[in-house]
Amino acid sequence: MASALVAKMGLNSLRRKQAKNFNVRITTMDADMEFSCEVKWKGKDLFDLVCRALGLRETWFFGFQYDVKETVAWIKMDKKVLDQDVSKEEPITLNFLAKFYPENAEEELVQDVTQHLFFLQILEEEIYCPPEASVLLASYAVQAKYGDYDPNVHKPGFLAQEELLPKRVINLYQMTAEMWEERITACYAEHRGRTREDAEMEYLKIAQDLEMYGINYFPIRNKKGTDLLLGVDALGLHIYDPDNKLTPKCSFPWNEIRNISYSDREFAIKPLDKKTDVFKFNSSKLRVNKLVSTVMKTKHYFLF
């Protein structure tokens, strides 16, 4: 029995060595795609293939994200896919997502496919906005999905299954779901004539000016052991209380940072102004530290 098991394990190992291809499932915000890839492929080989399949030319905003040990990571483009910490169970699942957000969507996003992917991703994210803006965003999302309002088609209750408003906004007011739908529908009716692309762009133009837009949050601790959140975005690095993602305790704009160092699981943000204290922090999880390091480096490189 033991010898048979060893022989079987050896056979499986041999098969893996002989395999020249592996299967990958790419999940975008719009659809899933599957590809057969060569074992020698690096992240960029697969990335280029996916971008061609999508007809995407504005590739620099995007990357492959995957789940690993209760956190997430990004595929390194210059390293073989199979040499990274991805699950080896086929098909290997990777999420095609935006890593970087445009500061001005109307000027920076040229292709409709790029705009559509951003719209769908932001639609899924938690972004703080006042109730009026929430209703307006919801109305543009409805226009993008359903087209022009038609009272004969879009009757009361047609939005009953849609999750269009943040629960925080809903909980602020003593309004029924029907009352919220009525407000959204009234706004939606005013968008007559707008194409899906127009509605999505209007949505992005509102979203880009809101708090929490384009911010990556990471759980960290300062040198005193206090739990905090690190926010990384196009403007710089921000430190938040865990229960308040809107107002940072302090911020470090990219152009005011002299150096960011990492050693012994500890980060140090050194401002250009030498009179300003160095801010040190860490995460209890090594993988989070690595992810923070990668995001900070790529954000800074992308912007400068």
Give the pLDDT band of residue 69 (cuts 50, 70, 90).
confident
The CATH code of the domain at 216-303 is 2.30.29.30
CATH of 105-207, one of 1.20.1090.10, 3.10.20.310, 1.20.80.10, 3.40.50.2300: 1.20.80.10
Report yes or no on whether pTM surpasses 0.85: no
Pair 99, 10: CB distance under 8 Å = no
Pair 33, 26: CB distance under 8 Å = yes
* 303: pLDDT strictly greater than 50: no
Q: Please indicate whether residue 4 or residue 53 has the higher confidence score (pLDDT).
A: 53
Token pair, residue 223, equals 């040198």
CA–CA distance, 193 with 199 (Å, rounded to integer) = 10
* 21-27 and 92-98 strand pairing: parallel
Nearest alpha-carbon partner for 211 in 145, 281, 126: 126
The residues, ordered by sequence, that sit 6+ positions from 106 with a Cβ below 8 Å of its Cβ are: 201, 204, 205
pLDDT tens by residue, 133-162: 999 999 999 999 999 999 999 999 999 999
The residues, ordered by sequence, that sit 6+ positions from 278 with a Cβ below 8 Å of its Cβ are: 268, 269, 270, 271
The number of CA neighbours under 13 Å toward the Cβ of 164 is 30
Residues composing the chain: 304
pLDDT tens by residue, 86-100: 988 999 999 999 988
CA–CA distance, 287 with 300 (Å, rounded to integer) = 20
Question: Can you tell me which residue has the tokens 């050896």?
Answer: 10
- Asked if residue 91 has a cis previous peptide bond (ω within 30° of 0), the answer is yes
- In the predicted model, what is the mean pLDDT of the chain? 87
Q: Please, what's the b/e burial string for 132-162 (b: 16 or more CB within 10 A of its CB; e: otherwise)? A: ebbbbbbbbbbbbebbebeeeebeeeebeee
Q: Please indicate whether residue 233 or residue 97 has the higher confidence score (pLDDT).
A: 97
Pair 28, 54: CB distance under 8 Å = yes
| The CA-based dihedral angle spanning residues 29, 33, 38, 44, taken in that order and rounded to the nearest 10 degrees | -30
Locate CATH 3.10.20.90 in the chain.
17-98
CATH of 17-98, one of 3.40.50.880, 3.40.50.970, 3.10.20.90, 1.10.3720.10: 3.10.20.90
Q: Name the DSSP class of 241.
A: B
pLDDT of residue 169: 85
The residues, ordered by sequence, that sit 6+ positions from 297 with a Cβ below 8 Å of its Cβ are: none
Nearest alpha-carbon partner for 89 in 67, 118, 57, 65: 67
Give the pLDDT band of residue 19 (cuts 50, 70, 90).
low
